[in-house]
Chains A and B, each alone.
Chain A
Amino acid sequence: MAQPLVAVRELRVGFRTKAGIVDAVRGVGFDLGREKLGIVGESGSGKSTVGRALMRLLPRSAAVRAERLAVCGTDVLTASDRTMRDIRGGRIGLIMQDPKYSLNPVVTVGEQIAEVFRLHRPEYAGKRAAREATLSILEQVKIRDPERVASLYPHQVSGGMGQRVMIASVLAGGPDVLIADEPTSALDVTVRLEVLALLDELVASRGLGLIFISHDLNLVRKFCDRVLIMYAGRVVEALAARDLGNATHPYTRGLLASMPHIHEPRDPLPTLVRDPAWREPA
């Protein structure tokens, strides 16, 4: 691959709080091509912060530094606000955890998709064109009655449907990269797989790069091509998903060991003992 869709080198993010600066990300680096990259870590490990830093969506209290932080060749750290607005939604989209909160409760589902078309796709700028594009993309995310759904408010649709709507609105901008931040954690177990399958299909058919942020190692292992394991703001291990069994870092091994297996019942299930040394670079 000539130029990676996303390039990150030595990314550091600190949050200014009353108690001083808290380092959330401490020197993360990776490249993303047209592939599915999983970022796994426990809460507070900095995985979501990496995703938001890529889109420059962190609050003002965050100090972001990096040797390189680029999306589709554009340097995110130095780009103008105008350029960033084109990139957000246009080149890189964000699917958030819970459609109950990430969709605006008082704006219809259709309007929330249509506005992305009008913003990023000049060919759909007209009211009618945007509406038709909206209905068609709702169909692509497998919503059966797009006409009806488009006119609903978010509280009138189920969680699974809400997340499809969210995905549709993100795809509407025609991005090259998707960041999915725990996209199925808030969903019922039964709809999770449907949404994942849909995401997989869309990423494959459109040839997108996907950053899949999750705390669920098993899920990432099955779904992604490559996995980064994050701990305390650092990538402790990066490897292909199929090689996870050969992971060397004690944190990764610990995570794998503490997972229950239906065929080898273990009692008690080992708990992860965290070693302070993991916080520092190997």
Chain B
Amino acid sequence: MSASAPVLQRPPSGARAALLRQLADGWHAYRQHVMGMVGLALVVLLLVVALFAPWIAPFDPNVQDLQQRLLPPSALYWFGTDHLGRDVFSRVVFGARTTVEIVLLVTIIVAPVGLVIGTTAGYAGGLVDEVLMRITDIFLAFPGLVLALGFAAALGPGLTNATIAIALTAWPPIARLARAETLSLRKADFIAAVRLQGATPSRIVLRHILPLCIPSVIVRVTLNMAGVILTAAGLGFLGLGAQPPLSEWGAMVSSGRQFMIDSPWVVAAPGLAIAAITLAFNLAGDALRDVLDPRGDR
């Protein structure tokens, strides 16, 4: 019915070229996705704001000025000031840094941990697989926030600990995914070939299987990022995340609570920031899913 896919018309000249072409094709498909592009733009905006926060923010986010408490938004204070006279806009801008730190740190912890556990379980099979998957199941047996709460409290409040706590709850789905990928790769001819050449299992897993699982794991981590940000904000709101005076959106909402009725801006601004960036990751994730799995629903 339809013409043959363009991918088939150009024979790949090498693995790297094929990968680049795949990426280019993927990017081409992604660009068609309006909402996905909106999400991506917002994510880029977040990164830019986080990177250049000191230059973007008009005020020092931590300098208190009790003369200027709870001022409504104005030309000088775009989002108003909070109960300590700090500029809310500047704090929201610096809060972007905190969010990016959490996102990066969670990715850096979760992706390798999930990959190693998942590929090991998948390749080794048998008892190792059974034990590792049982552990994964136990972590999955808790609702994410409750588990993160427990760990955050156990490790002590603070941004790093909160991030580790989130990472502890975020790796099981990644490990499951890596395991499934490994199971499908394990029987492949090229793995058999490597094995016949005398490669050790650890070498096969690390050099040959794990790299092939990386793309799908990265995609999955991106898809889960919206949830990570919401959990982080929840921890911050409950006082178990970043500690004052560090700007963190969830904590800002929490500290603004008691002034909310008369000064709603102290709560509205950070909340909208969380919503916007979570929405951005959701939109980008949806678009990514559509591109990677075109037969799925839109």
The answer to whether A and B come from one shared complex is: yes
Any A CB within 8 A of the CB of B13:
no
Q: Which of A14-43 contact B (CB under 8 A)?
A: 15, 17, 19, 22, 24
Complexed CA–CA distance, A22 and B3 (Å) = 10
Map CB proximity to A onto B1-20 as digits: 1 under 8 Å, 0 otherwise: 11100000000000000000
Residues of B within 8 A of A22 (CB): 1-2
Since A15-B1, A17-B2, A19-B3 are in contact, a sample of 5 more A-B pairs with Cβ atoms closer than 8 Å, ordered by chain A residue number, is: A19-B2, A22-B1, A22-B2, A24-B1, A44-B1
Q: What's the tally of chain B residues with a CB closer than 8 Å to chain A?
A: 3
**B29 (CB) vs chain A CBs: closest residue:** A18
**B294 (CB) vs chain A CBs: closest residue:** A18
Complexed CA–CA distance, A15 and B1 (Å) = 10
**A24 (CB) vs chain B CBs: closest residue:** B1
Which 8 residue pairs of A and B lie closest in terms of their CB atoms, listed nearest first?
A44-B1, A19-B2, A17-B2, A22-B1, A19-B3, A22-B2, A24-B1, A15-B1
**B5 (CB) vs chain A CBs: closest residue:** A19
Map CB proximity to A onto B190-220 as digits: 1 under 8 Å, 0 otherwise: 0000000000000000000000000000000
Which A residues form the contact surface with B (CB < 8 A)?
Answer: 15, 17, 19, 22, 24, 44
Complexed CA–CA distance, A19 and B2 (Å) = 8
Main secondary structure of the interface of A (DSSP, over half): strand
Residues of B within 8 A of A17 (CB): 2
Cβ contacts A to B, 8 pairs, < 8 Å? A15-B1, A17-B2, A19-B2, A19-B3, A22-B1, A22-B2, A24-B1, A44-B1
Complexed CA–CA distance, A45 and B232 (Å) = 57
Residues of A within 8 A of B3 (CB): 19
Minimum CB–CB distance for A2 against chain B, Å: 38
**B3 (CB) vs chain A CBs: closest residue:** A19
**A17 (CB) vs chain B CBs: closest residue:** B2
Complexed CA–CA distance, A235 and B61 (Å) = 76
Complexed CA–CA distance, A168 and B28 (Å) = 50
Minimum CB–CB distance for A150 against chain B, Å: 35
Minimum CB–CB distance for B31 against chain A, Å: 13
Map CB proximity to A onto B139-181 as digits: 1 under 8 Å, 0 otherwise: 0000000000000000000000000000000000000000000
Complexed CA–CA distance, A22 and B1 (Å) = 8
Complexed CA–CA distance, A94 and B9 (Å) = 39
Complexed CA–CA distance, A19 and B3 (Å) = 8
Residues of B within 8 A of A19 (CB): 2-3
Complexed CA–CA distance, A17 and B2 (Å) = 9
Complexed CA–CA distance, A17 and B1 (Å) = 10
Minimum CB–CB distance for B67 against chain A, Å: 61
Residues of B within 8 A of A44 (CB): 1
Residues of B within 8 A of A24 (CB): 1
Complexed CA–CA distance, A15 and B2 (Å) = 10
Minimum CB–CB distance for A189 against chain B, Å: 28
**A46 (CB) vs chain B CBs: closest residue:** B1
Complexed CA–CA distance, A19 and B1 (Å) = 11
Complexed CA–CA distance, A265 and B1 (Å) = 34
Q: Which of B1-57 contact A (CB under 8 A)?
A: 1-3
Residues of A within 8 A of B2 (CB): 17, 19, 22
Minimum CB–CB distance for B80 against chain A, Å: 48
